[in-house]
Structure 1
Amino acid sequence: MDPTLTDTIDMYGDPLAFRVKQGGAAPNSGHATIKVEARQMASHQKEAVVTEGEGGGAWRLTSDEGRHLKGTDLAPFPLGFFNAGMQSDLYGRIRTIAAARNVALDDVTVRLVNHYWLTGSFIQGTGEGHAESPDIEVQVASRAPSAAIEALVNAAMDSSPAIAFARTPLAGNTFALYINGRRRTVEGVANSPAPDAGDPYRIYAHAPRPLDPNARRDLIVKTGQVEQGEPQLAGPTVTNKLIRNIFGEGRPQGREGQFCTDTWLGVPGASHFKLVSDEGGKGAAPTGLSLLSAGIAFCYMTQLSRYIENMKMNIRAVRLVQFNPYVFSDKARVEPVDTHLFLNGDAPDETHLQLLTIAARTCYLHAAAKTPVEPNLRIVHNGNALARAA
């Protein structure tokens, strides 16, 4: 963690999430790229501006870590964003396909458990993240035949870019590194072919503030529910493997396409957070893919800050710009993530290069991007289980 950083996510008393730019409807067809511009703040706090495609609106989102990582626990942890985003995007595909097939849905509940584990040491620079198949349960209340519901959910899985992220090995993720304002060639990962990205520090003269002074305050909320037990500090070295299970349960909020997820980390003392997204095209909240994309950036930044702290690197003021391309169709696809990392400090260039590489290797969501896994799907129709993937 960078002791020189004093800005906090709550320094203005603003909501934890709010709109910063009005734009067109969030992308839902063809090819679109979600852009994440993020910065490290005090402790493990992070802030991002997420732009939903070319000409799309933009949202300010915030993240933190719990007490097990010595965070302040004010905002959702990075993997919670990913969990909520995956649920929301799947729900959006279910909703869209149901309307196209004239299938009436009385209620939908999505339950998701993501599984990750870590090996190695943050002190020695040997940490490595791993991802396993997520468990997804979709509960549907509907008078439609069970066969129609099963076909509907499976079609939604295929058309969800979030599910495609789990299924697709993204071995071609690319990186760019800027050290004290100058771009350097990276090593150990693929170099980004893209032109220089704008440094968020220079793009934003001031911290983002709500476009609407009366912006709703319920898009991200700490619910007050806490897992039983006392938090245990995560050590810098894992002797065997450290398992992290991320839980989430989401349901529609109203009839206009908004979706509300309760997500939490499966460790003692972990707080629950509620995240609201919009899959109805109204722009009332970020889309699920925006939450998911932000989660990838936030997770990478947590690993960067943990290595800086544990390896005592003279590096500060971490920022990044991340481009997440998605292809929308009945067979959705994702394309490699392009990450531009901005670092400042007096450490040698080799240390900055090392940090980029080892943090990418440790990041759970970069591991998930590289590791194709088939979700374990369970469909429940009117209380009766229909299918579960082998």
Structure 2
Amino acid sequence: MRLGENIIAESGVAPFFRVSNPEAVGLTPPENRLGEAARTWVRSLSGFQKEALVVSARSGLMWRLVSDEGAYLSGHDAAPCPLAFLTTGMIAGYMNEITALAAARGVEMRGLKLTQNNYYTMQGSMRKRTMVGGALPVELEVEVDCDLEDTALTQLLMEAVAASPLNGLMRGVLPSLFTLTRNGGRIATGAAQELSGEVIPDPSGAAPLPEDTDLTLIERLGMSPRKEVAKGTAAAASSLSDEQDRTLNPAAICTLREDGIKEIEQHLYSPHGSVFRFLSDEAPVAGGMGRAPDAVSYISAGIGFCFMTQFGRMASMEKLDLPAYSIVQDTHFSLGGASGGTGQAGTADPVETHVHLQTTESDDVARDMLDVSEQTCFLHAFCRTDLKTRLKVTRP
């Protein structure tokens, strides 16, 4: 049985687009502290369907994205799952840095193809409050034909991986910061670390309008191939069981089109789900043309979508009253070491999230919802875990 209505498919609104009226929407970019910053607003639509608006402080571009879940969470599979967006943004960021560093050093990369596997864990019991989401090291395979010797090629690729802005969230431990608002009034957080300063409210301006484009930014291509994943899952509603000990495996394959757009085929091996094709392009200020969402926009949307899913999952499993919920999230990254010309490894600040809940539940239950959602969110686990990317280099 599917949860909620299929609003994404039935609303008549294009699911993915560059927003033509960003100033009118009322979602202003955050202060740009490190070189690139994004503000992401995510709201629940129905069931596990969510809508996000992401605006860049560097470029001013705003993107509208939506996310859904497959049968494993009783979703409609009308859009990619949250983890797909981070995996897509991550591999797009790696492609940016590899091509920029190679160009800077005069190295021709022929037939460049990236294949990435992300792994996450979910262990424990929701009822006992022992359920915890985790993140495991990332696997990146680079297939390329070039004139560098193996050692020099591997060194270049390792430097490019470290130069990625997302490197700042992966390396080191960055616990996220939160504010919590229940029915319009701010309340103290519980175990979740509180963010000082004013609450950022939901945007209250005009509805976002799409810019004209001939591109299909994201589309479903069918089901992912079957792959054996240790502790993998495929059963319907398996992600809603109280006791869990499972491994999740989203993956992506990234190539460069002749027009410079990155084409990313995203697979979901565990829980078994769909293949979606994403397009990615950096903004003009970053050397692209802004024809599709950039790496940081996909990353930021992914973190917000995943965190929001945990609220919906908990409310469904615990039968809590949560008719409306949303977040405003700020992410801060350095420019890419190669693509941004800094020559440094990528850095990031902790993710800052303002949580807005509409609920008849008590303040204590609202705090519990935040604590459990942070504890079970794979991508907040990604931020608070020191992770490395395991690199494999192959030649055709």
TM-score by length of 2: 0.87
Q: Is 1:304–2:316 an aligned residue pair? A: no
Alignment of 1:199-214 (within 5 A): 199-200=202-203, 203-206=204-207, 208-212=208-212
Q: Residue 222 in 1 paired to residue 242 in 2?
A: no
Partner of 2:345: 331
> Residue 197 of structure 1 aligns with which residue?
200
Verify: 1:266 aligned to 2:264, yes or no. no
Aligned to 2:338: none
Question: TM-score, structure 1 length as denominator?
Answer: 0.88
Name the SS of the counterpart of 1:190 in structure 2.
coil
- Could you tell me which amino acid in structure 1 is paired with residue 290 of structure 2? G
| Structure-2 residue corresponding to 1:351 | 365
* Cα distance in 1 between the residues matched to 2:270 and 2:52: 26
CA–CA distance in structure 2, aligned partners of residues 242 and 112 of structure 1: 20
How many Å separate the matches in 2 of 1:289 and 1:104? 26
Q: Does 1:276 align with 2:283?
A: no
| Number of the residue aligned with 2:298 | 291
2:2, 2:74 within 8 Å by CA — same for their partners in 1? no
Question: What is the match of residue 102 of structure 1?
Answer: 106
Q: Distance in 1 between matches of 2:270 and 2:65?
A: 24
- 1:289 Cα shift? 1.6
Corresponding residue for 2:383? 369
State the match for 2:37 in structure 1: 33
Equivalent residue letter for 1:300: F
The alpha-carbon distance between structure 1 residues 228 and 152, as it changes in their structure 2 partners (threshold 3 A), is: closer
Counting only pairs closer than 5 Å after superposition, residues 79-90 of structure 1 correspond to structure 2 as 79-90=83-94
The equivalences for 1:231-242 within 5 A come to 231-234=235-238, 236-237=240-241, 239=243, 241-242=245-246
> Which stretch shows the higher mean deviation, 95-104 or 59-68?
95-104
- Deviations along 1:4-62, whole A, 9 cap, x unmatched? x7682233434431101478xxx999522111111111121111001122551000011
**Secondary structure of 2:373's match?**
helix
Give 1:8's aligned residue: 7
Match of 2:116 in 1: 112
Q: Which residue of 2 aligns with 1:386?
A: none
In structure 1, how many angstroms separate the alpha carbons of the residues matched to 2:67 and 2:167?
Answer: 23
- For the Cα contact (< 8 Å) 2:89–2:297, is it kept in 1? yes
- Secondary structure in 1 matching 2:289: coil
What is the letter of the counterpart of residue 150 of structure 1?
T
- 1:294-334 Cα distance to aligned partner (Å, 9 max, x none): 11100011111010111111222111000000012321101
1:374 Cα deviation (Å)?
Answer: 1.3
Alpha-carbon shift at residue 368 of structure 1 (Å): 1.0
Higher strand share: 1
Task: Classify the secondary structure of the residue corresponding to 1:9.
Answer: helix
Asked if structure 2 preserves the Cα contact closer than 8 Å seen for 1:76 and 1:273, the reply is: yes
**Alpha-carbon contact 1:104-1:144 (below 8 Å) kept:** no
Which of 156, 169, 172 matches 1:168? 172
**Which deviates more, 218-227 or 314-323?**
218-227
> Which position in structure 2 is the counterpart of 1:143?
147
Q: Secondary structure in 1 aligned to 2:250?
A: strand
Question: For 1:343, what is the secondary structure of its paired residue?
Answer: strand
CA contact (8 A) 1:231 1:267 kept: no
Once superposed, what is the RMSD of the aligned Cα atoms? 2.6
- 1: CA distance, partners of 2:6 / 2:302: 20
Is the contact between residue 221 and residue 274 of structure 1 (CA under 8 Å) also seen in structure 2? yes
Question: Equivalents in 2 of 1:90, 1:113: separation in Å?
Answer: 13
Question: Which residue of 115, 123, 129 corresponds with 1:125?
Answer: 129
TM-aligned CA deviation for residue 378 of structure 1:
1.0
Distance, in Å, in 2 between the alignment partners of 1:28 and 1:251 is 30
Counterpart secondary structure, 1:262:
strand
Alpha-carbon displacement from aligned partner over 1:104-132 (angstroms, at most 9, x marks no partner): 22221111111111112234433210111
For 2:325, the equivalent position in structure 1 comes to: 318
Same amino acid, percent of matched pairs: 30
In the other structure, the counterpart of 2:356 is 342
For 1:45, the equivalent position in structure 2 comes to: 49
Residue 332 of structure 1 aligns to which amino acid in structure 2? Answer: G
Secondary structure (helix, strand or coil) at the match of 1:310 reads helix
| Contiguous gaps of at least 5 residues in structure 1 | 384-390
Q: Which amino acid aligns with 1:295?
A: G
Cα distance per residue 1:327-349 (max 9 Å; x no partner): 12321101100000110011111
Q: For residues 245-256 of structure 1, what are the structure 2 equivalents within 5 Å?
A: 245-256=249-260
Structure 2 SS opposite 1:334: coil
Give 3-state SS (helix, strand or coil) of 2:178's partner: strand
Asked if structure 2 preserves the Cα contact closer than 8 Å seen for 1:14 and 1:210, the reply is no
Q: Is the 8 A contact 1:124 1:311 kept in 2?
A: no
Residue deviations 1:165-188, cap 9 Å, x none? 2223113x2101111111112121
Counterpart amino acid of residue 351 in structure 1: V
Change (3 A) 1:287 1:55: closer
Q: Secondary structure at the match of 2:173?
A: coil
The code of the aligned residue for 1:180 comes to N
